[in-house]
Amino acid sequence: MKAAVYDQTGPPSVFRYTDVPDPACAPDGVLIEVRAISIEGGDLLHRAQGALATRPHIVGYQCAGVVLEIGPQVKDRQVGDRVVAVMTHGSHAQRVAVQAGATWALPEALDFERGACVPIAVGTADDCLFEFGRLQAGETVLVQAGAGGVGMAAIQLAKRAGASVIATASSAMKLERLQAFGLDHGVDYSKLDFVAETRRLTGGRGADLVVDSVGGRTLQGSIDAATYRGRIVTVGSAGREADRIDVSALRPGNKSLTGIFFGAELMLHTARIKPMVQRHLEAVAKGELAIVIDRSYPLAEAAAAHAYIESRRAFGRVLLVP
């Protein structure tokens, strides 16, 4: 099969498109012919500086496709099933082998492209808001990087839950487009101090909950933008800066800071996560939850796709198509 691989970490140019052996289907697994690959933020971080589980290495957390083979222990999947799957690495390829439990059935009305974008981004947003963020109707949530996958999902889910939603983005154009998904107030962080703007928009209070997928210096600002007894969840490092924060800033306002890794919840609390993700897949299929795809690239152009995301021009998801 063909795959986008690299032998050492670095910029997008480390990718090369080449032949690699097909992955083997495990007794409790499935082999999937990949139809669409959603590029996740973690894919960029791993390509830039992550550990190489194999050489050459195939990066990638998530994809959708058709089941080609099932292991003898698998009872809930069949050859020909349309599924979306998550994995530790390997999505940037024509075929992937994963545990059957790491797959979800795609609703009949849901295409591969949108389905490939759901589990990690929407599941992470759900956990940030509700499982760990404890968001309640009537509260105000600040969503950092609102035009990204987690951000756009968080805006929609928070609005559906009855919250007032503030989000940051790198341009007025992105913020204007986000209004269609439930955004109440947008902050162009390239021109405005988002801490000051959040306090202005909330009458000086600050946000009850802050969802921060950027990290670095932004995380300190997220702490400062939270109200008394506010909750801050940190769920990524899109800014690629070390999270050097002054934790003493939490104490005067009795604020709480929670780190979130969706993959751990998927492994340790599968019984909760599986139906939650399936519910979101159904919501996307019914048009109740929007997945915005900015553009798609051929798998052979993985380097260009990663570079485009890193340019911060994308609005919504960027896909690879084998």
- Per-residue pLDDT tens over the stretch 40-65: 999 999 999 999 999 999 999 999 99
| DSSP conformational letter for 118 | S
CATH code at 2-117+291-321: 3.90.180.10
Question: Average pLDDT for residues 288-301, to the nearest whole number?
Answer: 97
Looking at the DSSP bridge assignments, the partners of residue 169 are 188
Q: Reply yes or no on whether the pLDDT at 130 is more than 90.
A: yes
The single residue listed with the structure tokens 């090369």 is: 16
pLDDT band at 257 (very low <50, low <70, confident <90, very high): very high
Query: Which residue matches tokens 């993700």?
Result: 277
Q: What is the mean pLDDT of the chain?
A: 96
Q: Which pLDDT value is given to residue 254? A: 98
Q: Closest Cα to residue 260, out of 172, 130, 168, 159?
A: 130
Out of 3.20.20.70, 1.50.10.10, 3.40.640.10, 3.40.50.720, the CATH code matching 121-263 is 3.40.50.720
The mean pLDDT value for 313-318 works out to 94
What pLDDT score was predicted for residue 29? 98
Q: How confident is the model at residue 237 (pLDDT cuts 50, 70, 90)?
A: confident
pLDDT at 241: 62
User: pLDDT band for position 243 (50/70/90)?
Assistant: low
Domain ranges of the chain: 2-117+291-321, 121-263
Q: Which residues contact 279 (CB under 8 A, 6 or more apart)?
A: none
- Give residue for tokens 């202005």: 200
Q: What is the DSSP string of 131-197?
A: ITT---TT-EEEESSTTSHHHHHHHHHHHHTT-EEEEEESSHHHHHHHGGGT-SEEEETTTS-HHHH
Q: Which one-letter amino acid corresponds to residue 291?
A: I
Share of residues in the chain with pLDDT > 70 (%): 98
- Cβ atoms of residues 99 and 29 within 8 Å: yes
Rounded to an integer, the average pLDDT of 183-202 is 96
Would you place residue 216 in the very low, low, confident or very high pLDDT band (cuts 50, 70, 90)? confident
Given strand 140-143, what is the order of strands in its sheet? Answer: 185-188, 164-169, 140-143, 207-212, 226-234, 256-259
Q: Flag whether the pTM goes above 0.75.
A: yes
For residue 242, the model assigns a pLDDT of 63
In terms of Cβ atoms closer than 10 Å to its own Cβ (0-12, 13-18, 19+), residue 311 is exposed
As a whole number, mean pLDDT of residues 98-127 equals 97
pLDDT at 172: 94
Average pLDDT on 256-281 reads 96
| 226 phi and psi angles, rounded to 5 deg | -80, 150
> Is pLDDT of 239 > 60?
no
Please say if the pLDDT value at position 85 is more than 70.
yes
Instruction: Say what the pLDDT of residue 5 is.
Output: 98
Query: Which residues touch 198 (CB under 8 Å, ≥6 apart)?
Result: 142, 166, 187, 206, 207, 225
